[in-house]
Amino acid sequence: MMRAITLSENSVKNGGGPFGAVIVKNGEIIAEASNCVTIDNDPTAHAEVSAIRKATKKLGTYDLSGCEIYTSCEPCPMCLGAIYWAHLDKIYYANDRKDAARIGFDDDFIYQELEQKPQYRKKPSEVFMQAEASKAFDMWMQKDDKTEY
C-alpha cells in the first residue's frame, strides 16, 4: 500500500491526479501505475485501469485471478468494473469515495447515479436500434469456439 500511496504523491508532483495503484501476485509487484488522465488527455487513464493494462500485458492474460490490487483510493465505478472484469482476488484501498468527493472528484456522485434507473440519471440515455444490435448477441450465442470471459 505504501507504494500505491507514493505513486499517488508522485503523480500530483508530475501533474497527474492523486491516485496510485499496485497489482501484486504471490507477494511480488506485477504492475504499478498512477493517474494520467490530464497528462495523457485520457479520461480512462485512472491508476487502477492503467495498472490492470500493464499486468495483463506482462502476464499475457486478461484473467488476473491470483492477483490483488492496492490502490490509494476506493476505486471509482469504472475502475471497480475493470477490477471485476480482470478477476482480481481482492481490493485494498486507503482513502474512500467520500474523501475523493471532498477534494472534487465525482466517484461518489457516479456511484449514486448507478443506483438510479436510467431515466432518472443526470446523463440522458435511451434504448436505440436494439433489434439491429441483437444480431451480434445471437451470433455470439451460436458461436462454438468462443472464448468466454
The total number of residues shown for the chain amounts to 149
Q: In 10 A of CB 100, how many CB atoms?
A: 20
Q: Which of 9, 28, 32, 48 is catalytic?
A: 48
Instruction: Give strand pairing partners of 25.
Output: 28, 67
In the DSSP assignment, the letter for residue 93 is: E
Q: Is there a contact between 92 and 1 (Cβ–Cβ < 8 Å)?
A: yes
Annotated active-site residue 48? The verdict is: yes
Please report, in angstroms and rounded to a whole number, the separation of the first and last CA atoms in the chain: 29
Residues marked active site are found at: 48
